[in-house]
Amino acid sequence: MAVLEPVLTSADDVGTAQVAVLLGTEAALLRVDGETVQRVGAPEMATAVQCMAVSASGKLLACFTADGQLHVLLTSDLTRRISHYDTQLVLPPDDMAWCGEDAVLLSWQDPPALMLVGPGDAIKYSLGVEDEEDEEEEEEEGDEGDVKPFGSAAIRSAPAPASALHAESAQGRLILIPECDGVRLLSSSHSDFISRVPEPTVSAFALASTAPPALLLEAFDLFERRSAKADEHVRAMGVGVMGAAVHACMDAAAHEVDLDGQKRLLSAAAFGRAFCRKFPRDRMMSLCKDLRVLNAVRRAEEDGLTNGMRAMEMAGMPLTYSQYKELSPARLIARLCSTHHHLLALRVATFLSLRTESVLEHWAISKILSASQTPDEVLYDTIIKQVDTDKRGSLAVSFAAIATVAFHTGRHELATRLLEREVHTGRQVRLLLEMGAFEAALWKAEAGPDADFVFQVLFQLLDKAPEEQVFEMLKSHPTARSLFISYCKKSDIPLLMRFYERCSMHQCVAEQIVQQAAQEAGSVWPQERVRELEAAAELFTRTRDNGFQAKAVEDSVKLLRIQQQLEAAGTVQLPPPTATATGHSATAGSSRNGAAPPSHCYCHWCRGGFPRGRGGGGGEECGGGECERDDCCMPGSRQQPRCSEAEE
């Protein structure tokens, strides 16, 4: 079985891409996705598929069939076979993995064996079996530059490490791990890597090679020996060929793992660069930085340390240049941190001018987790001292993340002290709420630039703490109290009233009652409003300088009582909206019952008074005449005045 990830499928629309599973059965090769089951496979595949492997790019699929054939198909068209090889082995491999995009490595455990299959050719290894003929062949091949032709590729052979690996692998399981540029072999005690030899390395070191990098290396060797032939070689190459040779030597140095080989290739590239006027000089500097980083993380012994980066740790990470570029420096630093090589990660980040706060955070967290017996005071001083030494990283370090780990490990005092160093208010507030320090969280939220932090604390308080505790806390926090009152006025009036009563804020309670009574005018019966306003008047009398408010509320109560009497007598209809409207209704009712009408009317425009009945109508009701005031806002407009309100 093999799995094709969504990004590797051939869906036309990326949004519809889905996982596809390839299943090898006795009858056919099946492609299964979320909707369909398709029968695929090249016509040449006559027997059942026993083992499959997808390349790192997802473009190629290797299938080992029951007749010992290894078929290579395109994942975009699984009916098309582009290559095949007869292994002459019927026993299916225990493991199979792609070696980059160039070859397929097959592994058998019993008997232990490896087979590297490329385009039309293969290399076989018998694990744990070393006879004299194999040793002689390996020695001869080693004398020829440790390079084997392999179809259209070249496979680097390392006899001595392979023998140690093979002898160990014969005693345990061998695991194949595909990489972007090769395959890694892991046993219980060894790790080896097989990859295709890069083309720049082949052109530079192949025997009797006349490629530009080989000519440049030869010219540089002559220059080192102070031979005049070096000038002849340089002149023979020309400027155009020299530029290509410099690039090839730099590429070969990037893929070289031996320090002496790197120095030789880089020196040759620097020698040739002097004859190229427009060569990009930044590339040499960038490559040297990358190689120094790679040499530092590869180093597993004390020797071999470059002067450009004095690391104090030995990671022993077998990383190639292609893998480093695929991984990216940031992820390499994260991997070093995960393996607790924090000092090396910090030096790499500083050397490459990258951010160091993630390294410092990971180190501090690891320090807290590993120093269970260290006192909080000592641990705090150690962390702060180390973080403060890095001026750039100390400004961006999340002390809240470190304090969170300290809190979860039971170090509450250490967490509190570390949190004081946090510069982000939101992180401080969140952790303080998690710790249950509501008072401290409220102080931090009030000091912050955003009112949302205060509301966050208030909601947490209302959800987790009793109301009495919340109200007592708000007494000493004026900013939070103002925001709380503003929120309650819009969302929770009963809660606001309980807060006022708890804090003995009689004037605020009375004002809220009056405001609520005014909003309910016309929808609440007068007797209910009378009770509310009486309570408000009584509260106003409890406070100083509120005599006017108390008197005004008492007058409103009197008007409402008169309104109740008029309602009882049937003079007005129920329910009138306000006491003023009750007055209008009462006077209108008196006029209809034979009472004397008011002697004056008021102009609809200027509100000026004039004798009733002076209009064109001349009757008891307002006539159709004009307003006689000289300062009327509508003079001469012939507007009809009307009786708008009675004279008191």
Count Cβ atoms within 10 A of the Cβ of residue 340 and give its class: 0-12 exposed, 13-18 middle, 19 or more buried. Answer: middle
Q: What confidence tens digit (pLDDT) does each residue in 109-136 have? A: 878 889 999 888 898 887 654 444 444 4
Q: Is the dihedral of CA 137, 141, 142, 148 positive or negative?
A: negative
- Say what the pLDDT of residue 150 is: 32
Strand order in the sheet with 95-99: 95-99, 103-109, 112-118, 121-126
pLDDT average, residue stretch 206-210 = 87
Count Cβ atoms within 10 A of the Cβ of residue 647 and give its class: 0-12 exposed, 13-18 middle, 19 or more buried. Answer: exposed
CA distance 527 to 530: 5
CA distances from residue 70 to 3, 103, 185, 243, 246 in whole angstroms, order as listed: 18, 11, 21, 42, 40
Q: What is the percent of the chain where pLDDT is above 70?
A: 66
Q: What confidence tens digit (pLDDT) does each residue in 446-489 have? A: 988 889 999 999 998 888 888 888 888 888 888 988 898 888 87
Strands 77-86 and 95-99: unpaired
pTM value? Answer: 0.69
Q: If you average pLDDT over every residue of the chain, what do you get?
A: 76
Number of helices followed by number of strands (H, E) in the chain: 25, 19
Strands 60-65 and 49-54: antiparallel
- Say what the pLDDT of residue 307 is: 44
Phi-psi region of 460 (alpha: psi -120 to 50; beta: other; left: phi over 0): alpha
pLDDT average, residue stretch 609-637 = 47
Q: What confidence tens digit (pLDDT) does each residue in 495-528 have? A: 877 777 676 665 566 666 666 666 555 545 555 5
User: Residue 37 corresponds to which tokens in the numbers above?
Assistant: 């089951």
What does the radius of gyration of the chain's CA atoms come to, in whole angstroms? Answer: 45
Taking the CA atoms of residue 164, residue 167, residue 173 and residue 179 in that order, the dihedral angle to the nearest 10 degrees is 30
pLDDT average, residue stretch 393-399 = 77
Count Cβ atoms within 10 A of the Cβ of residue 466 and give its class: 0-12 exposed, 13-18 middle, 19 or more buried. Answer: exposed
| Residue the block writes with tokens 């290559």 | 83
Q: What confidence tens digit (pLDDT) does each residue in 275-324 have? A: 888 888 889 999 999 999 999 999 876 544 444 444 446 788 889 999 99
Strands 29-32 and 121-126: unpaired
Residues with Cβ within 8 Å of residue 156, at least 6 apart in sequence:
146, 147, 148, 194, 195, 197
Q: What confidence tens digit (pLDDT) does each residue in 7-61 have? A: 555 544 444 567 888 888 777 788 888 788 888 878 788 788 888 999 888 888 9
Phi and psi, residue 64, nearest 5°:
-105, 120
Count Cβ atoms within 10 A of the Cβ of residue 342 and give its class: 0-12 exposed, 13-18 middle, 19 or more buried. Answer: buried
Q: What confidence tens digit (pLDDT) does each residue in 398-416 have? A: 999 999 999 999 999 999 9
Q: Helices 506-519 and 526-540, interaxial angle, to 10°? A: 160
Q: Which ranges constitute the DSSP H helices of 390-525?
A: 391-394, 399-408, 412-419, 425-435, 438-447, 451-464, 467-474, 478-491, 493-502, 506-519
Burial per residue of 200-224, b for 16 or more beta-carbon CB atoms within 10 angstroms, e otherwise: bbbbbbbeeeebbbbbbbbbbebbe
